[in-house]
Amino acid sequence: MVMERRKTDVGLSVELFGRRLETPLMPASGTLSKEAVEEVRGVYGAILPKTTTPLSRDGNPTPRIAETPAGMVNSIGLQNPGVDEFMKNLDDFDLGVPMFVSVAGNTVDEFRELCERVSADERVFAIEMNLSCPNVEHGGLTFCAGASSVEEVVSACRGVSGKPLSVKLTFEGVVENAIAAEASGADAITVMNTMPALTVDADARKVLVKGGFSGPAIKPVAMRAVYDVSGAVDVPVIASGGVSTGVDVAEFMMAGAAVVQIGTVSFVRDPEEILGEFEEYLRKHEMSASELIGCLRGAGSV
């Protein structure tokens, strides 16, 4: 399948892991269903289905989502059919653009086995390691709980995978963890995951949803994380967190992102509008996408 090239007079493409992406946009993990994939044809430069795990997971009971001003809190629980079924249906996400696969394990061994398994498939362009899941060998703290934990799991995966590895980190300790990931062989850092949050049903006096906070409200936090991480590592940064407009995409690239993920906002906006706004920004400023990357720090800044 060949991607339909967008007709545009501005330079939207970027390079990642030696390959040209037609646009710097891709979905954030867990925010694009196979049923919605056709809606984003031509918009995303790379694709990324929902995180897969070694075995199928039912996920959490409802309520799983709660709305907040400019965002939402979710507690889905990594519901997925398990890696065997996932790989069988991977072609559902084939839009003719490079395919990322997001993996999550409960142990270092699970991560290693998943990476080995997924890396053997030639349809896979790169792997995103979702390190925000609990590490059952360390009392349920996430793999992002410290640099040594990041080093252990990234090194293990590096040892079995020849594919580019992007390590997805949470905000807590993001710079130290990014440095550790790079030192352990990561090819990119995805910054950042949702933030821990709680919503309450006041009438029932009960917890409504305890989970991860996403959406436009977290953008300034993600921006700070992307800026700090891109100043601390040499590998590319993939930004994720609260992007809702084309100008947001430009801002994240200025802060150092090579690629920008579109997540929660895709529930309330058409990602094509976001790409259109980004093109508009580039046209207005007579710049190409790749010229924006990191310009807040470099000679390109205004």
Partner 1 sequence: MKFHTVEVEGVEALGRYVLLRYPWSGAIEPGQFTMARAAGYPTTFDPFLARPFSFYDHDGETASLLFEVRGRGTQLLAGAKETIEVSRPLGKGFRVGEENGRSLLLGGGVGVAPFKFLSRRLDELGVEHDVVLGFVDEGVAGVAEDFPRAKVATMDGSLGVRGTVLDAVGDLSEYSAIYACGPNAMLAAVKKAANGIELCQLSVEERMGCGNGSCNGCVVPTKARGLVRSCIEGPVFDAEVLAW
Residue 212 in the binding site for partner 1 (CB under 8 A)? no
User: Residues touching partner 1: how many (CB under 8 A)?
Assistant: 35
Candidate list 33, 136, 140, 198; residue touching partner 1; CB under 8 A: 33
Instruction: Write the Ramachandran bin of 294: left for phi over 0, alpha for psi from -120 to 50, otherwise beta.
Output: left
Alpha-carbon distances of 21 from 9, 15, 79, 236, 258, rounded to whole Å? 16, 6, 29, 14, 10
Stretch that binds partner 1, among 7-15, 73-81, 96-104, 283-291 (CB under 8 A): 73-81
Residue 65 in the binding site for partner 1 (CB under 8 A)? yes
- Which residues does 176 contact at the CB level (< 8 Å), separation at least 6? 146, 147
Candidate list 71, 164, 212, 236; residue touching partner 1; CB under 8 A: 71
Residue 64 in the binding site for partner 1 (CB under 8 A)? yes
Cβ atoms of 115 and 165 within 8 Å: the answer is: yes
Known catalytic membership, residue 133: yes
Beta carbon nearer to partner 1, 151 or 272: 272
Stretch that binds partner 1, among 118-126, 130-138, 183-191, 268-276 (CB under 8 A): 268-276
Nearest of 82, 11, 4, 3 to residue 278 by alpha carbon:
11
Q: How far apart are CA 94 and CA 149, in angstroms?
A: 33
Nearest of 163, 167, 197 to residue 180 by alpha carbon:
167
Which candidate in 133, 144, 157, 295 is catalytic? 133
Beta carbon nearer to partner 1, 65 or 87: 65
Cβ atoms of 99 and 141 within 8 Å: the answer is: no
Residues with active-site annotation: 133
Q: Which residues bind partner 1 (CB under 8 A)?
A: 30-36, 39, 50, 58-59, 62-65, 67-72, 74, 76, 79, 215-216, 244-245, 266-270, 272-273
